[in-house]
């Protein structure tokens, strides 16, 4: 079994490569999808965000109001770091679960599509 990380900036072709490899039988674990799952309505990640940033980061349906949260964190590096301390560990946890599932299924190659590989210090894991 081989575990590979695919990383790169916006518009670098990660999605094209992931799609191609997925179409050819490679198990792809998309960390962008996991990041959305980590803050989905009812998730522990969203609960932590609300606890840290207040109810104003929720929309009328109780889901994350991304523009409201963005207004808080993108103007204050300390607040952005607080958000990262909530989201990144949850994404890593979800990725580990997906990885275990793929290994149990006997997948010969597991590709982790990780936009923030270096920023989250995960490079040595692949």
pLDDT, one tens digit for every residue, the chain (126 residues): 899 999 988 888 999 999 999 999 999 999 999 999 999 999 999 999 999 999 999 999 999 999 999 999 999 999 999 999 999 999 999 999 999 999 999 999 999 999 888 888 888 889
Tokens standing for 2? 């081989």
Beta carbons of 26 and 109 less than 8 angstroms apart? yes
Question: Which CATH topology does 2-125 take?
Answer: Rossmann fold (3.40.50)
Q: What is the pTM of this model?
A: 0.88
Round to whole Å and give the CA distance between 87 and 23.
Answer: 29
Round to whole Å and give the CA distance between 86 and 72.
Answer: 15
Q: How distant, in Å, are the alpha carbons of 2, 29, 31, 49, 102 from that of 96? A: 15, 10, 11, 21, 10
């Amino acid at each position: 079994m081989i575990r590979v990380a695919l990383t790169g900036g916006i518009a670098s072709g990660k999605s094209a490569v992931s799609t191609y490899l997925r179409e050819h039988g490679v198990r792809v674990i998309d960390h962008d999808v996991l990041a959305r799952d980590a803050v989905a309505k009812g998730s522990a990640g969203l609960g932590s965000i609300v606890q840290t940033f207040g109810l104003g980061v929720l929309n009328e349906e109780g889901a994350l109001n991304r523009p409201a949260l963005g207004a808080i964190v993108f103007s204050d590096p300390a607040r952005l770091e607080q958000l990262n301390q909530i989201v990144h560990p949850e994404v890593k946890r979800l990725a580990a679960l997906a990885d275990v599932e793929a290994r149990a299924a006997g997948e010969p190659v597991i590709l982790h599509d990780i936009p923030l590989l270096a920023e989250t210090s995960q490079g040595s894991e692949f």
